[in-house]
């Protein structure tokens, strides 16, 4: 190929030619949804794949193409598709009843399991990680009596908390002081300057959407110190990263936040979120208190999530399985990075354990700004190359490894990426 543009044009043309049904369905979808889409992250040009069936680690689209699923529903799909224990749990919940409109026993046993696993003194359930983060921030503001928050540039905390390149127009109207991920001195100075108005510092201990970039121990230690001294609530968004260690990344790093938010996989594949942490902060939501904070949500304690979530966390993704699964992810990352180095290709994989991101980029990546230096055309070229070889990763290179992925599946990814290097070697340096 002469240029990246030439290679990408050919790859897109091949993609379109093999998917006439998908193209037609996309046109149909556009008649009722803007861009034919109702979830931005799933969109890609010229149109996204459209799935007909899913089982185990496999997806099949409406044109009959099969893919090994490396997206893992952006971490919510850690159990693979239709895990038998979770199918049985859902059937059990259906037999109990869905929309009860009252408290029930299963929410208690699930809450006990989540609290014990992630060392939370008290917690409450929500329907998504977005809601969990919104409620945690509301609690921090009420607890401190301050109004501003500090997210990180490149952070993402849900549909109303986008900070990829600063606050988004769709965000909740918080007064934001933007921190600099992994830049301890700059961020410390900002905290010092704005401490009197800061209610909370919120971050993922490993940026997910920003490129699977772990926070340095020094950075996390600085945040813990500053928040403690200045009475600021430190919130770890572990909606995704909680899967990377039996007690979440907080336990792995040894840095304890004041509040933790959870979501995605912990609900057993159902809609789920939770926020919790220190008992004194969470006491604000005690309905028996004199002036409690309200916390609504028709489906907060829905029986599907309460049942499937407990089974998933205590019987499938146990502490032992968590350690083993993330060990396999680390080994895969090491093999891929070794291959890229041997071929002297400007590519790398970042991440921890079972959450990884492919970057067509050399050099150190310690922030979202670093990751953004990658050529998006090369990311798209990798995406289309992998699809053509029967592998589905996010267009941005993100991968959330499901438990159902086998060593053979890993080998297929390695082979496809080696094929990419061999085919497009001249475009990678």
Q: Give the Cα separation of 20 and 16 in Å (integer).
A: 7
Tally Cβ neighbours within 10 Å of residue 363.
Answer: 10
Angle between helices 376-388 and 407-424 (to 10 degrees): 130
**CA 243 → CA 264, 265, 366, distances in Å?**
10, 8, 21
d(CA 277, CA 63): 47
> Is omega for the bond preceding 340 within 30 degrees of 0, making it cis?
no
- Distances in whole angstroms, Cα of residue 222 to Cα of each of 113, 182, 228, 351: 31, 10, 10, 21
Distance (Å, rounded) from C-alpha 58 to C-alpha 415? 18
Q: Please list the alpha-helical segments (H only) found in 119-256.
A: 129-144, 184-194, 217-230, 248-253
Using CA atoms, how far apart are residues 289 and 286, in angstroms rounded to an integer?
Answer: 6
CA angle, 357 then 359 then 362, to 5°: 135
Considering the candidates 67, 74, 79, 156, report the single residue annotated as catalytic. 156
Q: Which of 69, 237, 258, 370 is catalytic?
A: 237
Q: What angle do CA 115, 91, 319 make, to 5 degrees?
A: 30
| Cα 270 to Cα 263: distance, rounded to the nearest angstrom | 10
- The active-site residue out of 264, 379, 383, 392 is 264
237 classed as catalytic: yes
The set of catalytic residues is: 156, 237, 264
């Amino acid at each position: 190929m002469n240029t990246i543009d030439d290679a990408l044009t050919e790859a897109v043309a091949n993609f379109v030619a093999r998917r006439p049904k998908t193209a037609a369905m996309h046109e149909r979808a556009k008649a009722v949804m803007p861009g034919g889409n109702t979830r931005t992250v799933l969109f890609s040009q010229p149109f996204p794949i459209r799935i007909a069936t899913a089982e185990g680690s496999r997806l099949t689209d409406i044109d009959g193409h099969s893919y090994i699923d490396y997206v893992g529903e952006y971490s919510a799909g850690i159990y693979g598709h239709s895990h038998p224990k979770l199918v049985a749990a859902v059937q059990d919940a259906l037999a109990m009843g869905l929309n009860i409109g009252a408290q029930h026993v299963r929410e208690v046993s699930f809450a006990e399991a989540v609290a014990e696993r992630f060392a939370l003194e008290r917690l409450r359930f929500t329907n998504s990680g977005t809601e969990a983060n919104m409620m945690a921030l509301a609690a921090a503001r009420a607890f401190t009596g301050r109004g501003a928050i500090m997210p990180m540039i490149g952070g993402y905390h849900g549909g109303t908390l986008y900070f990829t390149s600063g606050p988004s127009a769709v965000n909740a109207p918080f007064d934001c002081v933007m921190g600099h991920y992994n830049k301890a001195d700059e961020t410390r100075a900002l905290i010092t300057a704005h401490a009197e108005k800061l209610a909370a510092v919120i971050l993922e201990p490993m940026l997910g959407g920003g490129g699977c970039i772990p926070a340095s121990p020094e950075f996390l230690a600085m945040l813990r110190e500053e928040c403690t001294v200045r009475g600021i609530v430190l919130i770890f968004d572990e909606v995704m990263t909680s899967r990377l260690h039996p007690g979440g990344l907080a336990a792995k790093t040894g840095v304890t936040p004041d509040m933790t938010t959870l979501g995605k996989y912990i609900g057993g594949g159902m809609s789920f979120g939770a926020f919790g942490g220190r008992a004194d902060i969470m006491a604000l939501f005690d309905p028996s208190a004199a002036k409690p904070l309200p916390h609504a949500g028709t489906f907060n304690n829905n029986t599907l999530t309460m049942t499937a979530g407990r089974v998933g966390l205590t019987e499938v993704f146990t502490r032992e399985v968590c350690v083993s699964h993330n060990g396999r992810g680390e080994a895969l990352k090491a093999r891929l990075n070794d291959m890229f180095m041997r071929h002297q290709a400007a590519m790398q994989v970042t991440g921890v354990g079972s959450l990884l991101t492919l970057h067509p980029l050399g050099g150190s990546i310690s922030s979202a700004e670093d990751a953004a230096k990658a050529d998006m055309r090369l990311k798209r070229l990798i995406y289309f190359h992998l699809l053509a070889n029967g592998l589905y990763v996010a267009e941005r290179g993100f991968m959330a490894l499901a438990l159902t992925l086998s060593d053979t599946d890993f080998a297929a990814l390695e082979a496809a990426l080696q094929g990419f290097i061999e085919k497009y070697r001249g475009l990678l340096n």
